[in-house]
Amino acid sequence: MAALTIENLKKSYGSVKVLKGIDLDIEDGGFLVLVGPSGCGKSTLLNTIAGLEEISGGDIKIGGVSVDGLHPSKRDIAMVFQSYALYPNMTVAKNISFGMEIRGLPKSEIMATINEVAALLQIEDLLGRKPSQLSGGQRQRVAMGRALVRDPQVFLFDEPLSNLDAKLRVDMRTEIKRLHQRLKTTIVYVTHDQIEALTLATKIAVLKDGCLQQAGTPDEIYNNPANMFVASFMGSPSMNLMRAKVSEEAGQFTIEITSGAATALTLPVNGIADLQAYVGKSVMFGIRPEALTDPDGSDKKHGAEIVTRAAVIEVVEPAGSDTFAVARLGGIEAVARLRADAEVEAGQTSSLAFNMTKAVFFDPETELRIR
């Protein structure tokens, strides 16, 4: 177990800059999730930590010691690959023991370790099989087993669940979380699935085009996004983002959402001091679906600032536990999350409650947060 520190990490392939100076750290025993759209450099970052890719600049420290130039096998890490990367010519037992064999551990110790890990992952019956005779979920377990026997300082997971079907993915997600709680080993976990990120992480790092957008606890990332990209990437359905005009009267900010000929929707805004600079200009107003509800379902606790406005409901999508509604706010489409038994009908006008304490604002040019 050890902390991991990444300092100004750069990686380029020829003239293509893939990682553009990443600063990131995770404490000993933490669960760091790297999340971002496909092609943003997550796997590359993980591979540089593993030592499978050389870095072009910066430094990586595991347990305070730089691992620059160290061979992958000497970094005390273990990795689970997206494709699982099981050796097709070896049985499950051999796959798990290959590393120990290479390191020349005694046979009895190898056998004991295999059995221990197989019991932990419930793959005892599979030890004699070849990878081609396993299902996706079983392969995934074997890949985890191979990583577990290394008993490393840091586990590296590269989208380990992305090849599983939806049900299995949820099960394995829980299992990985349980494993982490039990082993308390530092984990760096790559995914493009924001739900996985939110459920597993103690710390999330959002990447885009090789740049770190924001790093923080799941709560910080979700409720305090640093910019529009983070705000729209995390959360499902994603945050409603609408252009709005700012005005001020007697120290009270008001935003006005309007598009085309539709009637404007105005909302009061409190507690965002920097809006002063935007008076008379446009900002991006962001509100998550769950902060846009039917009045009965609104968050009434500790003085949340609830504002109710009428809106035309265009589409109603019952989803079991909730009902999602597509509404027109000043002519702009937005998704609201209502209670399952909320009485709304497509085509009608309904009251919607805006939880303005949860509202966020961004500069439309820089896309950065206005606080």
Ligand X SMILES: Nc1ncnc2c1ncn2[C@@H]1O[C@H](COP(=O)(O)OP(=O)(O)O)[C@@H](O)[C@H]1O
Strands 252-257 and 240-249: antiparallel
Closest-CB residue for ligand X? Answer: 43
Q: Which range, of 79-87, 163-171, 184-192, 298-306, touches other proteins by CB under 8 A?
A: 79-87
Least distance in Å: CB of 39 to ligand X?
Answer: 4
Looking at the Cβ atoms of 42 and 203, the one nearer to other proteins is: 42
* DSSP 8-state class, residue 141: H
The interface partner of residue 50, options being Mg ion, other proteins, ligand X, none and the CB cut-off 5 to 8 Å by kind, is other proteins
Contact 244, 237 (CB under 8 A): no
Interacting residue ranges for ligand X, rule: CB under 6 A:
13, 16, 18, 36, 38-44
Task: Determine which residue in the list 43, 186, 191, 214 makes contact with Mg ion, applying CB under 5 A.
Answer: 43
The interface partner of residue 173, options being Mg ion, ligand X, other proteins, none and the CB cut-off 5 to 8 Å by kind, is none
Residues 27-66 that bind other proteins (CB under 8 A): 47, 50-52
Query: Is residue 167 part of the contact set for other proteins (CB under 8 A)?
Result: no
The interface partner of residue 39, options being ligand X, other proteins, Mg ion, none and the CB cut-off 5 to 8 Å by kind, is ligand X
**CB within 8 Å of 97: residues ≥ 6 apart:** 110, 113, 114, 149
Task: Determine which residue in the list 64, 88, 251, 347 makes contact with other proteins, applying CB under 8 A.
Answer: 88
CA-based R_g, the chain, Å: 25
* DSSP 8-state class, residue 156: E
Question: Which residue stretches of 91-249 are H helix?
Answer: 92-102, 107-121, 136-148, 166-183, 194-200, 218-223, 228-233
Query: Is residue 44 part of the contact set for Mg ion (CB under 5 A)?
Result: no
Task: Determine which residue in the list 12, 56, 82, 162 makes contact with other proteins, applying CB under 8 A.
Answer: 82
Residues 97-156 that bind other proteins (CB under 8 A): 98-99, 102-103, 146, 150
Going by C-alpha positions, the residue among 118, 111, 122, 359 that lies closest to residue 242 is 359
Looking at the Cβ atoms of 43 and 91, the one nearer to Mg ion is: 43
Q: For Mg ion, how many residues bind (rule: CB under 5 A)? A: 1
Contact 291, 338 (CB under 8 A): no
253: its two tokens: 């900010």
Type and span of the H or E element at 79: strand 77-80
